[in-house]
Amino acid sequence: MTNPAPSDKALVPFVSVDHMMQLIHHVGVEDMLRGLADYIEADFRRWQLFDKTPRVASHSAEGVIELMPTSDGEVYGFKYVNGHPKNTAEGLQTVTAFGLLADVASGYPVLLSEMTMLTALRTAATSALVARLLAPAGAATMAMIGNGAQSEFQSLAMKAICGITEVRLYDTDAAATAKCARNLAGMGLTVSTCSSPEEAILGAKIITTCTADKQYARILTDNMIGAGVHINAIGGDCPGKTELAPGILERSDIFVEYPEQTRIEGEIQQLAADHPVTEIWQVLTGQAKGRISSRQITVFDSVGFAVEDFSALRYVRDQIRQTSFCHMLDMLADPDDPRDLFGMLQRAKT
């Protein structure tokens, strides 16, 4: 017996890693970073429409596996993501992810996508969007401390969205720094490799930390940070994992995505539960102030939030329309009679 071809209702667009890379090159890396930032900003400006909850995390000694859901009332989205710092020593990615969008009215999925590559892009786009709001005027140099998988994306996002012209690299693994410098060659940035974090931050008005160790760390100590800088702290993203000395936080104005999640996972887990923070959506909508002086220290305590993934998936869904950058997956059962799923099964018997 020949099984009938799946109906249109059964098919869901799937963006594979290969198609995602093709899409990125079709759009252009920097243009895609700017586009993602625009979608993230648009969704942060309608923040109050979204369902918001801290991600559901399953922790182990080796790492964490998380689900990150949200909805704007019309579209539902979630991301599956892991974080396993030991993986690179075994030839594996520290972070892998995939995501889904669904129509709230029917519950039917409308997009399934890889998100390992996309998460790197949306994380960098978010960092640069916030730095554009908070960094000192005229900031042209960024220190990139931690030169793993995220470092090139962060550097290019800061160039594309904030206009930086120089990036200063440091990692405890010199091979990681060499890799990052090699990948950024010819990308329009002046790239310096540094032998210490202190050297990296010299002259930098934007400092980005993105390290992977699952521990309380002091990548930046209190005496390293002077007035008039913006810090993107993006490596800390689970309980017990931080990058900044508490003294830096005490002297800074701190900005977050979603306090209920950041107080558990971010740098501010080191502070009192009522330590004041400002939500980024409030700055974008004019309900709160961002940078108010040239000597102010601002910190974006970023742990990643589901709305950013929702925005990234929205962007991809819009970009792949009328293109070949997806497969149509036979993912949903569609019997002739919605009440006769078993009959559909029986008719497929050969």
Residues 154 and 124: beta-carbon distance below 8 Å: yes
94, 102, 95, 57: which is closest to 78 by C-alpha? 102
Residue 321 neighbours by CB under 8 Å, 6+ apart: none
Secondary structure class of 249 (helix, strand, coil): helix
**In whole angstroms, what is the distance from residue 142 CA to residue 145 CA?**
9
Q: Which residues does the annotation mark as catalytic?
A: 237
Strand duo 64-71 + 75-83: pairing: antiparallel
Q: Which two tokens stand for residue 268?
A: 């501010």
Strand duo 64-71 + 56-59: pairing: antiparallel
Encode burial over 60-98: b for 16+ CB neighbours within 10 A, e otherwise: eeebbbbebbbbbeebbbbbebbbbbebeeeeeebbbbb
